[in-house]
A and B are shown apart, each in its own frame.
Chain A
Amino acid sequence: GAGVSQSPSNKVTEKGKDVELRCDPISGHTALYWYRQRLGQGLEFLIYFQGNSAPDKSGLPSDRFSAERTGESVSTLTIQRTQQEDSAVYLCASSTGLEGDEQYFGPGTRLTVT
């Protein structure tokens, strides 16, 4: 079946602009995750959605970052008033939501803030 998809694949924006990144999880996966990967570094956890539970936003680096998810489908990560330090690859993953389950990753969105 189809894997996790993300759009756009690349985004170049000017400092101060808002951007929206989209993630389509695997159908039937109740859990969805957003991660950020800066150049040469490991992934940083941003936010976690599980079904209709309140999301875990503990990884969001500032109040300029927000994310929404409609039911158990599409999620959007919004970055307001982008800064150069926001430049990174943003990765989305989904999973069944069962304990210890495997996360499946999308190809990521490469964000460059100029």
Chain B
Amino acid sequence: KQEVTQIPAALSVPEGENLVLNCSFTDSAIYNLQWFRQDPGKGLTSLLLIQSSQREQTSGRLNASLDKSSGRSTLYIAASQPGDSATYLCAVRHSNYQLIWGAGTKLIIKP
């Protein structure tokens, strides 16, 4: 059974720091992995999607890597800003359609 774990559960850092969020999964047979951002009271915003054949994806200050063999993905945020404060969710596409989710990392960027 596919399980997704995100560490840490919460993280608080000063503005301007670079940081890494971690996601691990137990079954390497995945279609893709997606990182989302969730703001309080709002829906999910897709940040990056990495197909199983890819190693990383970049968008602006965000870089996500995928190592299927070890069951790990990282989301790197460069030069963090207070506006980056949110909960970051990792989801693995385990079957043709079903997403298996981590519980998220709550990130607070202190001005």
Q: Could you tell me if B51 and A100 are in contact, using CB atoms closer than 8 angstroms? A: yes
A63 CB-CB contact with B under 8 Å = no
User: Using a CB–CB distance below 8 Å, which chain B residues touch chain A?
Assistant: 4, 31-32, 34, 36, 41-44, 46, 49, 51-52, 89, 91, 93, 96-104
Residues on B with C-beta less than 8 A from A44 are: 101
Q: How far is the CA of A5 from the CA of B104 in the complex (A)?
A: 23
Number of interface residues of A (CB under 8 A): 25
Q: How far is the CA of A8 from the CA of B69 in the complex (A)?
A: 42
Known interface pairs A42-B4, A42-B104, A43-B89; A103-B43 also in contact (CB < 8 Å): no
Dominant SS among interface residues on chain B: strand
* Interface mask (A85-114 → B, CB under 8 Å = 1, otherwise 0): 000000100010001101111111010000
Query: Could you name 24 residue pairs across A and B whose Cβ atoms are closer than 8 Å?
Result: A4-B43, A33-B99, A40-B103, A42-B101, A42-B104, A43-B101, A45-B98, A45-B100, A56-B98, A91-B44, A95-B97, A99-B96, A100-B52, A100-B93, A102-B34, A102-B49, A103-B34, A103-B46, A105-B36, A105-B43, A105-B46, A106-B43, A107-B42, A107-B43
